[in-house]
Structure 1
Amino acid sequence: MRRYACPNCSNEVHFRNTECVNCHSRLGYVPEWDRMFYAMSDDARWHDGATAYKACANRPEIACNWLIEETQTEDHCLSCRHTLVIPDLSAPGNRDHWAALEEAKRRLFYSIEKFQLGVGNLVNQPETALRFEFKADTLTADGKTRRVLTGHEHGLITINVAEADDPTREKYRKAMGEPYRTLIGHFRHEVGHYYWDDLVFNSPRLEAYRAIFGDERQDYGEALKRHYDQGAPAGWDATHVSSYACAHSWEDFAETWAHYFHIVDGLETAGWYGLDGHTPDAGLNRTPGGWSDAGPYGAQEFRPLMDAWVPLTVAMNAMNRSIGLGDFYPFVLSDTIFAKLEFIHDLIHDRG
């Protein structure tokens, strides 16, 4: 994630901000330009001189700060319009959970835009577009709980809104031994399945994929049952980014895909704050030194990303320990994992 400044007063603002705390300008983000726009009053328009923009319809609902060109017929921003189902807002906490989910999803769409990955056409080919449903567990007439399972099926990603509740997610994180169980992690993992269908299945890369991640034709249901019954094999961390990645080839790909997104977005953030080993720059709207104009998202070669990432995580782990916290980055990346990450990198950058 890059750094942003208020276009009116140059005060630093953040990706989620709807208002500048210094000059109180109304802020809006335009993903096509990766820029913050400002308006001085509630009835003023956001514009860049030639083009006027309007707020996403979800701005008053959940503080979505993304903008749309005023001439568009769409009422929702690029990210929000891909959500087909939201939770029952009359239930306590669900509005906050929905807001948290959409905020994480906007960060996902930020990366999708930076990588120039497609999300499909919701109007003309909705069955192949990237879609989201946010649902909650419900009680049946006999008093039993009908669980909503987080997962992906043919472009439709379902997420249980309980994942947006911090205590609930922490309980699951500890129970399942997942050091990085986060909302953004869920989104990045699930879209990995979507892009496997789009970029790997029935493509010239399928055999190379099988050589690195394993054969996806293995029975998925049986593989998951075995994983939950027996757990990951000893020494799994030498070959996989998580224990869950051991369950099946598809899960290995999705976990590695999510991890690659973590790395690239983390490096972009580090670059904008001068923490990536390059010369810091006090300007808030700069290009990080040492990368292309597109930053780490535009890096054509994989190894320089790792050369920057590994020492950064060592330093961040040391920083966390110095203030009494657990490791910021509790992973060790082996050559096998590097090869998997490099496959993801090449898949994203060479898909043309």
Structure 2
Amino acid sequence: MKPYSCPNCGRLNHFEVRVCPNCSFTLGFDPASDRFLFLGDNATTWRDADGTEQDVVVCQNNNEFAVCNWLVPAVGDQPLCLACRHNRTIPDLTGPTVPERWAKIEAAKRRLFHTLLHLNLPIETEAEAEANGTAPGLTFDFLYDPQGEATGTVQITTGHEEGLITLNLIEADDVQRERMRTSLGEPYRTILGHFRHEVGHYYWARLIEGTAEVEAFRALFGDERISYEDAKSQHYGDGTGGWSDDFVSSYATMHPWEDFAETFAHLLHIIDALATIDGFGMRMTKWPGMDEQPAVDFDPYHADTHALVSEWGPFAFAENSINRSMGQPDLYPFHLSDKIVAKLDYINRLLQRAGQGDIAPREQPQPVAA
């Protein structure tokens, strides 16, 4: 995403900021206007960069738990922000380090929602989806796993089912997450990556399942009606799933659902990273084989796939080179083949249509003959 400046002093800040390090004013993000506001001297009025008062208040999760920096309209009956209102279950905060871990998870979730809002995708709560007849709604369970913490054997599985995304708080522990990444042979494992993957499952259910769109999906990703449990056993059991240039990751080879979710996550990685590069006005020297120097001179949230991939390649190489200069592993250790780009293009076009309200209707099930 683009960098956001403090509306009081102009300093650039990270998206998670709550207090400006330069002027010490309290800051809050207003998703309705896509900007930060600051709390005036009286500590009761939120103002923009022009000093104009804004009729907003802090999210209830900030008042109660100090885990959110988003704002909500002062008028209305919804005390939670656009991201927090989707929570169904928050963790048991009496556990050691749980509040700190939950705060990390919520920060990553707000970055996810920032992207979804900029893509203009449908983001209904469970109640909204039921009222609109567009089930499933999007909900979250964030659960503390004390037995998994004590034994090292995870008892709560991170995943998605019918609009509900469950996340084990152990993922917010850097040591535990790295241990799981290594044991599973993954080149990349982050909280934000989890969110992008699991919400990919949600949008498969929201935009593809039970619609005519499913045939276009199957043509690229395969038939999702094959047994998921058998595919999972094969992937983790005999290892014959393998990995090829047709898939963006090893996990994507397991089942068409996982291929879609992994590719969906990578599309969001690319879009958000390019938006950040654009926000800082970054440019590169001429790249071999390109007529013009790599630059993000377009809106990544609404760009065609060719533009995204063409610019992402050089910048990803540069980011990897910077990481290596710091003794760190590649930031983006993946290769985008033509087959993967075709899958990215399918998802990108699907999301662009959905952002414009063009969503395939659910097909009525055919009656079973007597």
TM-score over 0.5 (shorter chain): yes
Q: State the partner residue of 1:160.
A: 168
Q: Does 1:114 align with 2:126?
A: no
Q: Is the 8 A contact 1:138 1:146 kept in 2?
A: no
Gaps of 5+ in 2: 286-294, 359-370
- SS of corresponding position for 1:123: helix
Map residues 215-254 of structure 1 onto 2, 5 A cutoff: 215-231=223-239, 233-234=241-242, 236-254=243-261
Q: State the partner residue of 1:282.
A: none
Give the C-alpha shift of residue 28 in structure 1. 0.7
The whole-number CA distance in structure 1 between the counterparts of 2:153 and 2:21 is: 44
Describe the shift of the 1:42–1:122 C-alpha distance in structure 2 as closer, same or farther (beyond 3 A): farther
Give the C-alpha shift of residue 207 in structure 1. 1.2
Describe the shift of the 1:70–1:171 C-alpha distance in structure 2 as closer, same or farther (beyond 3 A): same
Out of 54, 58, 75, the residue aligned to residue 55 of structure 1 is 58
Q: State the partner residue of 1:39.
A: 39
Q: Does 1:324 align with 2:331?
A: no
The whole-number CA distance in structure 2 between the counterparts of 1:350 and 1:257 is: 15
Describe the shift of the 1:322–1:121 C-alpha distance in structure 2 as closer, same or farther (beyond 3 A): closer
Q: Is the 8 A contact 2:324 2:330 kept in 1?
A: yes
Give the C-alpha shift of residue 251 in structure 1. 0.3
Letter in 2 for 1:87: P
Out of 259, 268, 273, the residue aligned to residue 275 of structure 2 is 268
- SS of corresponding position for 1:118: coil
Q: Is the 8 A contact 1:115 1:297 kept in 2?
A: yes
Give the C-alpha shift of residue 63 in structure 1. 3.5
**Root-mean-square deviation (CA), in Å?**
2.2
Q: State the partner residue of 2:157.
A: 149
Letter in 2 for 1:251: E
Letter in 2 for 1:52: D
Q: Is the 8 A contact 1:276 1:312 kept in 2?
A: no
The whole-number CA distance in structure 2 between the counterparts of 1:346 and 1:128 is: 22
Describe the shift of the 1:116–1:124 C-alpha distance in structure 2 as closer, same or farther (beyond 3 A): closer
Describe the shift of the 1:218–1:336 C-alpha distance in structure 2 as closer, same or farther (beyond 3 A): same
- SS of corresponding position for 2:60: coil
Q: Provide the aligned length of Structure 1 versus Structure 2.
A: 337
Out of 290, 300, 321, the residue aligned to residue 297 of structure 2 is 290
Q: Does 1:15 align with 2:18?
A: no
Give the C-alpha shift of residue 124 in structure 1. 4.1
Q: State the partner residue of 2:30.
A: 30
Give the C-alpha shift of residue 145 in structure 1. 7.3
Give the C-alpha shift of residue 290 in structure 1. 1.4
The whole-number CA distance in structure 1 between the counterparts of 2:301 and 2:328 is: 29
Q: State the partner residue of 2:289.
A: none
Out of 314, 317, 327, the residue aligned to residue 314 of structure 1 is 317
Stretch of structure 1 that moved more, 122-131 or 89-98: 122-131
Q: Does 1:334 align with 2:342?
A: no
Give the C-alpha shift of residue 316 in structure 1. 1.5
Describe the shift of the 1:63–1:233 C-alpha distance in structure 2 as closer, same or farther (beyond 3 A): closer
Map residues 57-76 of structure 1 onto 2, 5 A cutoff: 57-60=60-63, 61-76=65-80
The whole-number CA distance in structure 2 between the counterparts of 1:298 and 1:50 is: 32
Out of 201, 216, 220, the residue aligned to residue 209 of structure 2 is 201
Q: State the partner residue of 1:79.
A: 83
The whole-number CA distance in structure 2 between the counterparts of 1:110 and 1:232 is: 38
Describe the shift of the 1:124–1:306 C-alpha distance in structure 2 as closer, same or farther (beyond 3 A): closer
Describe the shift of the 1:53–1:215 C-alpha distance in structure 2 as closer, same or farther (beyond 3 A): same
Q: Is the 8 A contact 2:141 2:166 kept in 1?
A: yes
Letter in 2 for 1:258: A
CA deviations on 1:191-249 (whole Å, 9 max, x unpaired) are 10110011111223211111110000001111111111023544x24111110101100
Stretch of structure 1 that moved more, 264-273 or 57-66: 57-66
Q: State the partner residue of 2:292.
A: none
The whole-number CA distance in structure 2 between the counterparts of 1:241 and 1:195 is: 18
- SS of corresponding position for 2:140: strand
Normalized against structure 1, the TM-score is what?
0.90
Letter in 2 for 1:123: A
Q: Is the 8 A contact 2:181 2:189 kept in 1?
A: yes
Letter in 1 for 2:259: D
Give the C-alpha shift of residue 144 in structure 1. 12
Give the C-alpha shift of residue 273 in structure 1. 1.8
The whole-number CA distance in structure 2 between the counterparts of 1:144 and 1:317 is: 32
Give the C-alpha shift of residue 125 in structure 1. 3.5
The whole-number CA distance in structure 2 between the counterparts of 1:30 and 1:122 is: 23
Q: State the partner residue of 2:266.
A: 259
Give the C-alpha shift of residue 84 in structure 1. 1.1
CA deviations on 1:314-351 (whole Å, 9 max, x unpaired) are 11222222232221211111101100111110110123
- SS of corresponding position for 1:157: strand
Q: State the partner residue of 1:186.
A: 194
Give the C-alpha shift of residue 137 in structure 1. 2.1
Describe the shift of the 1:137–1:274 C-alpha distance in structure 2 as closer, same or farther (beyond 3 A): same
The whole-number CA distance in structure 2 between the counterparts of 1:119 and 1:176 is: 31
The whole-number CA distance in structure 2 between the counterparts of 1:158 and 1:344 is: 23
* Identical counterparts, % of pairs: 43
Q: Is the 8 A contact 1:135 1:161 kept in 2?
A: yes
The whole-number CA distance in structure 1 between the counterparts of 2:203 and 2:119 is: 12
Give the C-alpha shift of residue 64 in structure 1. 1.0
Stretch of structure 1 that moved more, 258-267 or 53-62: 53-62
